[in-house]
């Protein structure tokens, strides 16, 4: 599965455009249980990535992912910047230039471990990890139709954060009052997964 510059450009643009298009929805989710800035901040980071798209897309896949991660760290701020930035930076370190599905699953597992360490968190705390981990497991499954399965898995995983009480992030201060709301970080993961799979 060689990932050429045109494809890198298409994937990056699809993911960034999806976040920017859904910024208001993400912000509304964050207003319900956080501080109401997740969509705005992620959109600012994605806009910065698009502004630098010519340079980033020209890099080999690992370098491009690392550059996306650094851009998110430096432009998003809040907790989302370090967390999504760490995710992409570690993907850049772990993915080979031409990954197959199994290599992608292994790299995503390493990136998830890095996110857990950065946020001192794990699954079940109503965070982006609750979408990332099921997606990684689905990616590790050698079924033939993973590109159509993954978005469904990601959407369901994001929706499944609604009944969870938040244990990390600003939403944790709400405790039981966070129940019933989808986690904005998990929703962002689902948006990125769908955009990448459908690009």
Query: Tokens at residue 94, please?
Result: 């772990």
* Nearer of residues 81 and 184 to other proteins, judged by Cβ: 81
Pair 53, 64: CB distance under 8 Å: no
Which residues in 154-189 are b (16+ Cβ under 10 Å) and which e?
Answer: bbebbebbeebbbebbbbbebeeebeebbbbbbbbb
Q: Please state the closest distance from residue 125 (CB atom) to other proteins, in A.
A: 7
* Nearer of residues 26 and 106 to other proteins, judged by Cβ: 26
* Nearer of residues 164 and 196 to other proteins, judged by Cβ: 164
Q: Please state the closest distance from residue 86 (CB atom) to other proteins, in A.
A: 8
Q: Please state the closest distance from residue 166 (CB atom) to other proteins, in A.
A: 9
Q: Please state the closest distance from residue 63 (CB atom) to other proteins, in A.
A: 18
Give the single-character DSSP code of 165.
P
Q: How far, in Å, are 16, 20, 101, 109 from residue 43 at the CA level?
A: 8, 5, 28, 25
Residue numbers at the binding site for other proteins (CB under 8 A):
27, 31, 34-37, 40-41, 44, 73-83, 118-119, 125, 167-170, 172-175, 177
Residues in Cβ contact with 118 at an 8 Å cutoff, skipping those fewer than 6 apart: 82, 83, 86
Q: Please state the closest distance from residue 6 (CB atom) to other proteins, in A.
A: 30
* Nearer of residues 166 and 189 to other proteins, judged by Cβ: 166
Pair 168, 125: CB distance under 8 Å: yes
């Amino acid at each position: 599965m060689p990932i050429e510059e045109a494809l890198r450009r298409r994937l990056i643009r699809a993911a960034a455009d999806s976040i920017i298009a859904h910024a208001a929805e993400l912000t509304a989710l964050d207003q319900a249980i956080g501080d109401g800035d997740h969509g705005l901040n992620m959109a600012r980071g994605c806009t910065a990535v698009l502004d630098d798209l010519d340079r980033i897309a020209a890099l080999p896949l690992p370098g491009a992912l690392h550059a996306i991660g650094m851009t998110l760290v430096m432009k998003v701020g809040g907790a989302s910047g370090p967390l999504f930035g760490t995710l992409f930076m570690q993907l850049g370190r772990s993915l080979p230039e031409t990954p197959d599905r199994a290599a992608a699953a292994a790299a995503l597992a390493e990136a998830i471990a890095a996110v857990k360490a950065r946020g001192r968190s794990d699954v079940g705390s109503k965070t982006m990890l609750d979408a990332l981990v099921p997606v990684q497991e689905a990616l590790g499954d050698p079924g033939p139709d993973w590109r159509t399965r993954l978005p469904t898995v990601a959407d369901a995983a994001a929706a499944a954060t609604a009944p969870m009480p938040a244990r990390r992030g600003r939403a944790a201060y709400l405790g039981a009052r966070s129940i019933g709301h989808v986690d904005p970080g998990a929703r962002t993961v689902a948006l990125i997964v769908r955009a990448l799979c459908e690009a």
